[in-house]
Amino acid sequence: GEALQTYVLETLNKDNVIENTKDLNNADGQPIEQLTLLGALNSLKSKDMVDFTFIDREVWFLTEEGEQVAAQGSHEARVFDLIPSGDEGMTIADVQAKLGEIAKVGQGKAFKNKWISKKGGNLVRLVDTIVDQTQSDLQQIQKQGGHSDAKLLTDLKKRKLADKQKLTSYRVTKGSEFALEIKKEATDITYEMLQTGEWKNASFKKYNFDAVGVPPTGGHLHPLMKVRQEFREIFFEMGFEEMPTNCFAESSFWNFDALFQPQQHPARDAHDTFFLKDPATTDRFPRDLMEKIRVTHETGGDTGSIGYNYTWKEEDAGKMLLRTHTTAVSSYMLYKLAEKTKAQGAFKPAKYFSIDRVFRNESVDATHLAEFHQIEGVIADKNLTLGDLIGFMDVFFKKMGMDKIRFKPTYNPYTEPSMEIFSYHEGLKKWVEIGNSGMFRPEMLQPLGLPSDVRVIAWGLGLERPTMVKYDISNIRDLLGHKVNIAMIKEYPVCRLDKKMGKELVGLSK
């Protein structure tokens, strides 16, 4: 590289201009490869040391067969040469045996040129000497890279003996910074250059804005997290605050007891719940709240309820588990809200949401995993009614393009009334379940210590199914777990929950 650049500069210094680099030989008299030269010229031009323009030309060259003809003669000439003069001639079989596959074409052409003819089954000469024009034409092309007879060239091309090629060479002149010595250019300004003042005299390499950039490295959000971000935006847009759901391990107390879920409830069963072995239990929950919850479970306390009429056990509430729903965090947050209300002497409405992981010991199949993500929303305000819940659901789901929403009564231990949320699926032409909701019961709210006129509405839905629809994944194991293809996380595009998508999302329950 460097040696060639210097050679170009020295030649320019001597001759002032290089008219055509195709005629430029290197110091050893060898022709210079034009592509290698282009590298050197570009490098010199970037420093304004030279300038150059392109010279395009057409060069004819011989094909492999053409080279052979140029060296050994045309097929017809070789047939002629082979046949001895005289009436005897040579048998066709002999010509064939000596010349192989070129014999047939050669014979045909030699007949046409009236060089040979057939006599008594043998091939004999008709003339004493011939001129092999094709061979001398090809030899000339080989030497000069072309021929003055254009028709001849097209003819030889048709016969696949010659072809043309475009070659580029250059006309080189001195540039504004022409010099014999190539100065090293700095690519970056460094700390040392600043300190020594060297930067003032340094010459800097020009930026190449056409260079292919280095793809930025960095993290990639998992598709579930991309969809989560979209839901998050909806909540933030509606004035919600995100709940701290970063702790997967929870006590039965917050997951069940605080939600007025009786201790013999089947959902607590080891069939559904992953209980922890270490630590297996905790007593780290508020004692005064625990006493109120005990009374409410046993007799209803002063909530107006008769309770469940069983003996509540602290040891059951202390069992550690992997939370089965994010409502465990909602109950804790409402307790905190009650504490804040007491401390400030006034109640302020609250809107909370969370989107995070929950765990259930269910049989795993193409659409179910033992862990999944719940989207949960909670609103606490004075005198909220079921109408507020229904109205709010309408707004929330409309933001995802689901505009036909219906409700069906259901049962949750902690909400009354409770409603399953259905949306109309245009494709399936039927109503499908998309979530669960309700108004938290007084048996849940009153022990937490919220003012008695505060009502709390809440709802939940799953994150996996919207994600699977959005990214066209049919098996949940391709989305989560040890079989996931890591590359897909990099490659999947950003997520937009547009209105059209909402239509597809209908039918996505937890």
Could you tell me if 373 and 463 are in contact, meaning their C-beta atoms sit under 8 angstroms apart?
yes
Q: Which is nearer to ligand PHE, 356 or 376 (CB)?
A: 376
Q: Which is nearer to ligand PHE, 125 or 510 (CB)?
A: 510
CB-based contacts of 445: which residues, under 8 Å, 6+ apart?
334, 454, 455, 456
Q: Give contact residues for ligand PHE (rule: CB under 6 A).
A: 325, 327, 376, 412, 415, 436-438, 458-460
HSE on the CB side for 393, CA within 13 Å?
Answer: 27
Least distance from ligand PHE to the Cβ atom of residue 396, Å: 13
How many residues does the structure list for the chain? 510
Q: How far is the CB of 489 from ligand PHE (least distance, A)?
A: 27
For the CB of residue 229, give the shortest distance to ligand PHE in the complex, in Å: 21
- Residue 60 forms beta bridges with which residues? 164
Identify the H or E element spanning 55. Answer: strand 50-62
Please check whether residue 10 is in contact with residue 26, taking contact to mean a CB–CB distance below 8 angstroms: no
Beta bridge mates, 51: 173
Q: Shortest gap between Cβ of 352 and ligand PHE (angstroms)?
A: 11
Give the side-chain half-sphere CA count within 13 A for 347.
18
Between 290 and 421, CB nearer to ligand PHE: 421
Other Cβ atoms within 10 Å of 5 Cβ, number = 19
Helix (H, G, I), strand (E, B) or coil at 413: coil
Nearer to ligand PHE, 312 or 359 (CB): 359
Q: What share of the chain is helix, strand, coil (3-state, %, to 5)?
A: 40, 25, 40
CB of 437 to ligand PHE, least distance (A): 5
- Count of beta carbons in the 10 Å neighbourhood of residue 321: 23
CB of 314 to ligand PHE, least distance (A): 24
Least gap, CB of 455 to ligand PHE (angstroms) = 13
Q: Report the residue number, 352 or 492, with the smaller CB distance to ligand PHE.
A: 352
Residue number, 141 or 402, with CB nearest to ligand PHE: 402
Q: How far is CA 333 from CA 248, 349, 385, 438, in A?
A: 15, 13, 21, 17
What does the radius of gyration of the chain's CA atoms come to, in whole angstroms?
Answer: 44
Q: Tokens at residue 428, please?
A: 């399936």
Shortest CB 362 distance to ligand PHE, Å: 12
Q: How far apart are CA 117 and CA 127, in angstroms?
A: 10
Residue nearest to ligand PHE (CB): 460
What secondary structure does DSSP assign to 224-285, as a single string?
HHHHHHHHHHHHHHTT-EE------EEEHHHHTGGGT--TT-GGGSTTT--B-STT-B---S
Helix (H) / strand (E) element for 176: namely none
Q: Of 74 and 374, which has the nearer Cβ to ligand PHE? A: 374
Q: Which amino acid type is present at position 447?
A: P
Residues 6+ apart with CB under 8 A from 235: 242, 353, 377
Q: Which is nearer to ligand PHE, 21 or 330 (CB)?
A: 330
In the complex, minimum distance from the CB of residue 294 to ligand PHE, in angstroms, rounded to a whole number: 23
What is the C-alpha separation between 433 and 425, in angstroms, rounded?
Answer: 10
Closest approach of ligand PHE to the CB of residue 469, in Å: 20
Which residue's CB is nearer to ligand PHE, number 252 or number 327?
A: 327
Packing angle of the helix pair 75-82, 92-99 (nearest 10 deg): 120
CB of 325 to ligand PHE, least distance (A): 4
Residue closer to ligand PHE (CB basis): 138 or 328:
328
**Rounded Cα–Cα distance for residues 25 and 33 (Å):** 9
Question: At its nearest, how many Å lie between ligand PHE and the CB of residue 471?
Answer: 24
Tokens of 125: 């000469």
Cα–Cα dist 335/337, whole Å: 5
Nearest approach, Cβ of residue 463 and ligand PHE (Å): 12
- Which H or E element spans position 395? helix 386-398
Q: Which is nearer to ligand PHE, 49 or 439 (CB)?
A: 439
169 or 415: CB nearest ligand PHE: 415
Q: CB-based contacts of 151: which residues, under 8 Å, 6+ apart?
A: none
Name the residue nearer to ligand PHE (CB basis): 438 or 447.
438
